Amino acid sequence: MKYSQSFINTRRDDPKDETATNARLLLRGGFIDKLMAGSFTFLPLGWRVYQKIEQIVREEMNAIGSAEILMPLLHPKDVWNETGRWADPNVKQIMYQFKSVDEKEYGLSFTHEEIFLDVIRKNSLSYKNLPIKLYHFSTKFRNEARAKSGLLRGREFIMKDLYSMHTTQEDLDKFYWEVKDAYLRAFNRVGLKDVKVVEASGGVFTSGHTHEFQLVSPVGEDNIYFCNKCDWAQNKEIYTHKIGDPCPKCGGQVEEASSIEVGNIFRFGTVYSEKMGINFKDSDGKDKPPYLGSYGIGMSRLIGVLAEVFNDDVGIKWPKSVAPFLIHLVSLGNTKTEAEKLYRTLAEKSVDVLWDDREESAGVKLSDADLIGIPYRIIVSDKTLAQESVEIKERGSDKVEMVKLGELSSWLEKLE
RNA sequence: CGGGGCGUCGUAUAUUGGUAGUACGCCUGUUUUGGGAACAGGUAGGCCGAGUUCGAUUCUCGGCGCCCCGACCA
């Protein structure tokens, strides 16, 4: 893609009010625009990052046998009344509820359990067609008391949510742990190598504990306790030991840290099925309520988390798997013709390349390249062309590599 | 929701109870291209409302908005 056609507008100065690193860098780099506190437009660069993350999560969801759908965001009051959640004071705090001019009552989705259940109950449910596993990527509205920290806590954000329905608790449990592994694979692939699976309280509607996926980070809002030897971890709400106590699982040392929640998984059991009067026909001919599981990943929050984790004093350093482009092609001096040739060649090979085709000074282009944080910067200049070469530099590295124009293809192949 | 801070061109800022300035951006022209170019000309601003005052961007009150801390976070 050409820079000049990508609506990329970088800022030289940090935004006045934003102190969160992700907000500062994403706004300066032209990844997002803020409409109001906790509500953002994803600009072309930011949306490309989103789409990279989405595709990784999609692949992992498909790999565990779930199918993608898209559920609506405008919900009628009635279905929420069936579970009693419409009038729940806790729900009322965060759910946007309103009357339209015709006096009908609606809510904006902050989660989709009711809608998922409504979708599947309209079909004959038998043990033969369970389990059902459906997921979607969509917006969630939550009237947060305090939106903050850029993309980390918004009033409107994008979530991947997966819902599953099973004949037995055992089958739900089995899938629950499959989802856990799929989530860890997804986080790993987007560049977050050390996400901890943390036990958390289930609240009133869940059977047993739930699990949160927490990334240790100084900007995190949560506090977790984890073992420095094994995978044991609990969040603040359920941790009952004292700091310094040995790990209850392996005897190792328990540590405390602040962390950011990037996902969670819940087992609801049959509570909602019963409230909504949903049954499946089991092999013994009896009607039984199915078991519900619900699993979320904060998609837009992940972008913020990645910006928090991968940056230096001049900008973002995107992991290759989620970078908006793989290559940032910069042409300096009067090299536009050669650069365009190169750009076309790369585009034909389906390489994700951003070509800075602007009439800007070298300093502006190079600074913007640092700020935007694309993994590889390729410079074409009179200097490099004199050697029939381009200069390649990895973001965040000091080393530059001169590569002959004729050898660029093999350089690209080595990348994979 | 409690507490604190802040609202001035697109961005970042300065000053002032009496003509609102600077830098960047943006526009025109010329020269420029390896780390946010040079020169010349131009463009654009006091969050909203009320009050005090001869006069308010400045002082007072109210509202709205943004940021931060806390509470909250199925």
Question: pLDDT tens for residues A118-173?
Answer: 999 999 999 999 999 999 999 999 999 999 999 999 999 999 999 999 999 999 99
How large is the C-alpha radius of gyration of chain A? 25
pLDDT higher for A253 or A319? A319
Which nucleotide's C1' atom has the smallest distance to the CA of A152?
B73
pLDDT band at residue A207 using 50, 70 and 90 as cut-offs: low
Nucleotide B22 C1' to residue A364 CA (A): 22
The interface predicted TM-score (ipTM) is 0.94
Query: What's the confidence (pLDDT) of residue A204?
Result: 56
Torsion sign over Cα A66, A69, A73, A76: negative
Q: Give the CA-to-C1' distance from A329 to B64 in angstroms.
A: 45
C-beta neighbour count of A414 within 10 angstroms: 6
How is residue A235 written in tokens? Answer: 């969040």
Q: In Å, what is the separation between the CA of A383 and the C1' of B64?
A: 56
- Exposure string (b/e) for A50-81, b if CB count within 10 Å is 16 or more? bebbbebbbebbeebebeeeebebebbeebbe
Q: What is the mean pLDDT of residues A392-400?
A: 94
- Identify the residue whose tokens are 């692939």: A189
What integer best gives the mean pLDDT of chain A?
94
Q: Is the pLDDT of residue A242 over 80?
A: no
Is the bond into A324 cis (omega within 30 degrees of 0)?
Answer: no
Give percent above pLDDT 70 in chain A: 98
pTM exceeds cut of 0.90: yes
- Which residue, chain included where needed, has tokens 């073992």? A227
Kindly list the structural domains of chain A, giving each domain's residue range(s) and its CATH number in brackets, ordered by start: 18-73+109-312 (3.30.930.10), 325-415 (3.40.50.800)
Lowest mean pLDDT among A16-25, A53-62, A214-223, A378-387: A214-223
- The confidence score (pLDDT) of residue A348 equals 93
- Which bases along strand B come within 7 Å of a protein CB atom? 1-2, 5-6, 8, 11-13, 24, 32-37, 65-74
Residue–nucleotide distance: A17 CA to B57 C1' (Å): 21
